Amino acid sequence: MWSYFKFEIKQFFTNKKNLAIYFLLAFATLFYAFKIAPTYNPIESVDYDEIEARYLTRQEFLDHMEGSDLNGVHPSVIYAIGIFKEINPIDKKRLDALDEGDLKQYADLTRDWYYFTNSFTYRNEAFFSYNSKYFIENNKYAEDDAFYAYLEQAVRYDAYSKADYELSLDIFEQRTALQTFERLSKGLLPIILIVCVLLLSIDIVKKDQRHPSILKGFPISDWKKLLVKMFVALLGSVALFAPLLIGFFIIGLQFGFGNFNLPSPMYAAQLDWHLEGQFEMMTLGTFIVQSLTLLFTWFIVIISVVLLCSILFRSEMVNFAVGLLLIFGENFYASRYVGYFWDVQNYPTSYIQVGQIISKRRNFYYMNNNLDFTLGLQLLFGLAGVVILLMIVIALNKRYKLMK
């Protein structure tokens, strides 16, 4: 058993295709760390000019209206005066806090600013609009995205204002290494990693056809061989994080590493209208642990599905097609708010966007309360269990031979 394991490990890590995958991933990581990460420019940034411009414009309006007779003016003017009188002192204090470099004070005020601005901007297009950068991509749902972002920022700044660690602008703009990982795992990173796992494990059974005579020297039953292969592929998948770590350190040295107590708000999915858009605090540590757990479960699912397909169909292309169907299956039904009508939470494929599941952004996207970390874990483990069981049953069948 041990010698077979060593043999498989050696084959796996000397396979040129696998080495190429590690290499390309390392290359992509370097590209990201050096080229893309520094140009990251969030919409919700700490922009002194923007705050000042808004403050001055509104203050001038208020000064102009000061003491004038409000009888007979348009009601929207009175509305504007009311709002600006509330929001302008906050903007003024934010500017002062930035001037003094008091980031804790800035965070405290910014939280209030986000809550208050959102309260009079959401569904109030006639008078106010969110940051216009949300609308640049011709996004139909820009208003909703901005709503989500504003409330999320409010919860983040709430946590910053109570922070017992050192604050910095890089932390506010989510540029530190851990926060970069957080942002990426809400985007493409999980899918890239899962596709890499698929490509790594795709020929793990098929390659044996090239050297049948060596393999007949190992007196192990077929199902044990398959489990060893599975374990080797899992080890190889974990090794995918090695190239990512290089990028992590490069970004960390540029912008700081961040820490695990940073906030990573979780959308509290509530379909009641008066509770809509609530966020709950979660620490970055919890987020990362849960994301990695779900991601690792996905690795197990993909590898076991590839193994089952390998022994059923014996073709790399079929493995590839089935794996891709599983990974991109969500795209066949994913669309905004569809979860309100369909039970998307019952399909394992709905959980592919790992970071968005943990932060429950996916619930907001689907408008569904039930997408959940534990449910996803149960579904995926269930799927993997069934697949592995099937695989072992087939391999135990006397008429089946792993190698022909």
Interface residue list for another protein (CB under 8 A): 16, 19-20, 23, 27, 30-31, 34-35, 41, 47, 49-50, 52-54, 56-57, 60, 131-133, 135-138
Q: Shortest gap between Cβ of 59 and another protein (angstroms)?
A: 9
User: What pairs with residue 263 in β-bridges?
Assistant: 283
The residue with tokens 């509530």 is: 270
Beta-sheet pairing, 278-280 with 266-268 = antiparallel
Of 99 and 343, CB closest to another protein:
99
d(CA 263, CA 153): 10
Minimum distance of another protein from residue 24's CB (angstroms)? 8
Specify the residue, 56 or 215, whose C-beta has the smaller distance to another protein: 56
Taking the complex as a whole, the smallest distance from the CB of residue 326 to another protein amounts, in Å, to 23
CB of 54 to another protein, least distance (A): 7
Nearer of residues 60 and 86 to another protein, judged by Cβ: 60
Backbone angles phi, psi at 109, to 5 degrees: -70, -40
The least CB distance from residue 34 to another protein, in Å, is 6
Distance CA 364, CA 339 (A): 9
Q: At what angle do helices 222-238 and 284-313 cross, to 10 degrees?
A: 140
φ and ψ of 308, to 5 deg: -60, -45
Q: What is the C-alpha to C-alpha distance for residues 308 and 306, in angstroms, rounded to an integer? A: 5
- Toward another protein, which CB reaches closer, 54 or 224? 54
Q: Is 100 exposed, middle or buried (0-12, 13-18, 19+ CB in 10 A)?
A: exposed
Q: How far is the CB of 32 from another protein (least distance, A)?
A: 10
CA distance 389 to 308: 10
Return the number of the residue (203 or 222) whose C-beta is nearest another protein. Answer: 203
Complex with another protein: residue 24 or 188, whichever CB lies closer: 24
Which residue, 41 or 374, is less far from another protein as judged by CB? 41
Conformational region of residue 77, where left means phi above 0, alpha means psi within -120 to 50, and beta covers everything else: alpha
- Closer to another protein at the Cβ: 131 or 286? 131
Task: Name which of 138 and 374 has its Cβ closer to another protein.
Answer: 138
User: Measured from the CB of residue 244, what is the shortest distance to another protein in angstroms?
Assistant: 17
314's torsion region: left (phi>0), alpha (psi -120 to 50) or beta? left
Q: Which amino acid is at 33?
A: A
Q: How far is CA 15 from CA 18, 22, 215, 323, in A?
A: 5, 11, 17, 20
Q: Cα Rg for the chain, rounded, in angstroms?
A: 27
CB of 77 to another protein, least distance (A): 15
Q: Taking the complex as a whole, how short is the minimal distance between the CB of residue 61 and another protein, in angstroms?
A: 9
